[in-house]
Chain A
Amino acid sequence: MTEKTGKQAGTNSELTQSVLGASILVVDDMALMRQMIGMCLSGGGYENILFACDGDEALTMIEADMPDILILDLNMPRVSGYEVARTLRADARYDRLPILVQSASETPEERVEVFAAGATDFVSKPINQPELLARVHMHLQNRFLIDSLTDFRERMQSELVMARDMQQSLLPEMPSVREIERASGFKLESFYRASFELGGDLWGSWLLPGDYIGLFVLDIAGHGVGAALNTFRVHATMARFRRARLDPARFLTELNKVLVPSFPLGQFATMFYVVLNYKTGEMTYAGAGAPRPMVIGNQGVRLLDSSGIPVGISKKPDYVNITDRLMPDESLFCYSDVLIEAPQPNGEMLGEGGLISWVEEQAKKPDRKNLVSRLLRRFFDAQPSSLPDDLTAVAIHPNKERK
């Protein structure tokens, strides 16, 4: 047990306090042995020492209140030390209870049997007091370190789950998606899955005055807590630029202006923002390095130019608006990079070209409105359930032919 490990789980003085405050159950049928071990432990600074005269009594005491460590004699009447160890090890509640066996017999066979029964460690009789103290101390310290690491891990896991849920709450909710669909006559098909760790994907859509809808996808570089916290920052910042929402290049420029000084070096967001007139199909969009969105029609797939310096890097990003038109049979499909970068079963990444051929294949089938879910079904069939990064895929499909 090194000091370094102790420091990771808590301070050394806290650990020593926990160790000395630990409850120790000494099980021996001989009163003299109980007394001798008890004195040895008291001399070592331990205060919380309990005694049992046989295995039966030990099991009853443990059931009532689990000690932090058990010092167990092997040869006892009624229930032997072996049986006590086996009974405890058969019960998951006592998985982490250290069992220190003491015995006079020293044969190798017996030692093997002791460990097979579930003992953590072994001390020989006659008991060498400093050795007993050292072993008790080491096992208690291990026990508390493992407890503290397990608690820490469990807490971190529940915090991550909470953070993921909070991040998910930044995405558009069903009622607002339905409202956009009702007003625009388009169908919004979206998918978002957070990576096992936290990630930095975000998408959003809003209705704008004059028959327009706005749609953005963004991906903050890297993942983990930093990227996730930055999605909150970006989301909050975006709310400040409502008036720029009709002008994609201006919207990206305003956002960039705020984020350049606040993003740490090496962090940025790739982004694509489009404003679509849902009556005419006219689109104005600006890109900041997001994967190139696809326009999917009956004739095939074409790519939109989403190139641009990601948001948060440069003071002069020079974002430009590009205009295009979504024809009545066409859908617009945006996605985050993990879709083309995640390794496939053959070890290669799908790549943009690979995804285009998947999309073309799916676009030939009827019912385009489920294209994203069909694509992702194919993607996840070949993927482990946990992705290296967040995955976002959003499509706008025409609900009916526009006049």
Chain B
Amino acid sequence: MEYKITTKDNQAQVVFRGDITFSENVSFRQLLKDISEQSVTRCEFDLSGVDMVDSAGLGMFLIAREQADTAGWKLAVTGAQGHVASMLKLTKLSDLLDG
């Protein structure tokens, strides 16, 4: 997994590439720390470059969602396609992650 954060007018966009799996646990937490250090009101996770997400990866999105609620910013998960979109649909998490 690779990611790139860009911030503009209190809005952050994180563009992910590669697979988001259990082994990305540590870097994902670092990412959340990076976001929380910037005072953002909204953050978009762009998954259009992600080929695969496993159940642990979905768990990390849930953690991000929780952190957004606690810190008072909005999380939007966008661009999921292929396997990633199927996973979000199968687990009915797209609504939960996008609000």
A interface vs B, CB < 8 Å? 219, 221-223, 265-268, 270, 289, 291-292, 306-310, 313-314, 337, 341, 349, 351-352, 388-389
Indicate if the CB atoms of A349 and B55 lie closer than 8 Å: no
Taking CB atoms, residues of chain B closer than 8 Å to A309 are 91-93, 96
Contacts beyond the supplied A219-B55, A266-B63, A267-B59: 18 A-B pairs with Cβ under 8 Å: A221-B55, A221-B59, A222-B22, A222-B55, A223-B56, A265-B62, A265-B63, A268-B59, A292-B90, A310-B55, A310-B93, A314-B96, A337-B54, A341-B54, A349-B52, A351-B83, A388-B21, A389-B54
Please name the 8 residue pairs, one residue from A and one from B, whose CB atoms are nearest each other, closest first.
Answer: A289-B91, A266-B59, A222-B56, A221-B55, A266-B63, A221-B59, A309-B92, A307-B90
Verify B54–A289 contact, CB threshold 8 A. Answer: no
Q: Which residue of A lies closest to B82 (CB)?
A: A351
Give B32-73 as 1s and 0s: 1 = Cβ < 8 Å from A's Cβ atoms.
000000000000000000001011101110110010000000
Given A219-B55, A341-B52, A341-B54, are A306 and B93 neighbors across the interface (CB < 8 Å)?
no
- B residues less than 8 Å from A267 (CB atoms): 59
Cα–Cα, bound, A308→B90 (Å): 6
A-B contact pairs, 15 of them (CB 8 A): A221-B56, A221-B58, A222-B56, A266-B59, A266-B60, A266-B62, A268-B59, A268-B62, A289-B91, A289-B93, A292-B90, A310-B58, A310-B93, A349-B83, A388-B22
CB distance from B84 to the nearest CB of A (A): 12
Q: Check if B63 sits within 8 Å of A289, measured CB to CB.
A: no
CA distance A354 to B86 in the complex (A): 14
The main secondary structure of chain A at its interface with chain B is: loop
Interface members, chain B 68-99 (any A CB < 8 Å)? 83, 86, 89-93, 96
Q: Which residues of B contact A (CB under 8 A)?
A: 21-22, 25, 52, 54-56, 58-60, 62-63, 66, 83, 86, 89-93, 96
List chain B residues, Cβ under 8 A from A352. 86
Chain B's nearest CB lies how many Å from the CB of A198? 12
Residues of A within 8 A of B56 (CB): 221-223, 266
Are A307 and B63 closer than 8 Å at their CB atoms? no
| Chain B residue at smallest Cβ distance from A309 | B92
**A218 vs chain B, min Cβ distance (A):** 11
Q: For the complex formed, measure the closest distance between the CB of B35 and the CB atoms of chain A, giving whole angstroms.
A: 16
- Collect the chain A residues with CB atoms within 8 Å of residue B91's CB: 270, 289, 307-310
**Cβ contacts under 8 Å, A270 to chain B:** 55, 91
Whole-angstrom CA separation of A326 from B62 in the bound complex: 36
CB distance from A269 to the nearest CB of B (A): 9
Closest to B25 in A: A222
Closest Cβ–Cβ distance, residue A121 to chain B (whole Å): 37
**B50 smallest CB distance to A (angstroms):** 13
Instruction: Please indicate the chain A residues that have their CB under 8 angstroms from the CB of B63 in the complex.
Output: 265-266
Question: Which residues on A sit within 8 Å (CB–CB) of B59?
Answer: 221-222, 266-268
Cα distance A270–B62 when bound, in Å? 14
Chain B nearest CB from A270 CB (Å) reads 6
Residue of B nearest to A317 (CB): B92
- Give A307 to B93 CA distance when docked, in angstroms: 10
Q: Report Cα–Cα, A267/B63, bound state, in Å.
A: 9
For A318, give the chain B residue with the smallest CB separation.
B92
Instruction: Point out the residues of chain A lying under 8 angstroms from B22, CB to CB.
Output: 222-223, 388-389
Identify the interface centre among B21, B54, B63, B86: most chain A CB within 10 Å of its CB: B54
Inter-chain CA distance A265–B63, complex, in Å, is: 6
Select from chain A the residue with minimum beta-carbon distance to B92: A309
Give the complex CA separation of A389 and B91 in angstroms.
19
Nearest CB in chain B to that of A223: its residue:
B22
Q: Is B90 in contact with A289, judged by CB distance below 8 angstroms?
A: yes
**Complex interface: chain A residues within 8 A of B55 (CB):** 219, 221-222, 268, 270, 310, 337
Give bound CA distance, A309 to B58, whole Å: 11
In the bound complex, CA of A222 to CA of B56 (Å): 5
Query: Which residue of B has the minimal Cβ distance to A348?
Result: B51
Give A280 to B62 CA distance when docked, in angstroms.
Answer: 41
Tell which of B52, B54, B89 touches A307, judged by Cβ atoms closer than 8 Å. Answer: B89
Task: Give the distance in Å from the alpha carbon of A297 to the alpha carbon of B62 in the complex.
Answer: 38
**CB of A387, distance to nearest CB on chain B (Å):** 12
- For A313, give its contact among B21, B89, B96 (CB under 8 Å): B96
Report chain B residues within 8 Å CB of A349. 52, 83
Q: Is the CB of B62 within 8 A of A313?
A: yes
State the CA gap A267–B59 with chains docked (Å). Answer: 6
A122 to B63 CA separation, bound complex (whole angstroms): 54
* Closest chain A CB from B45 CB (angstroms): 15
Task: List, in ascending order, chain A residues with CB within 8 A of B21's CB.
Answer: 388
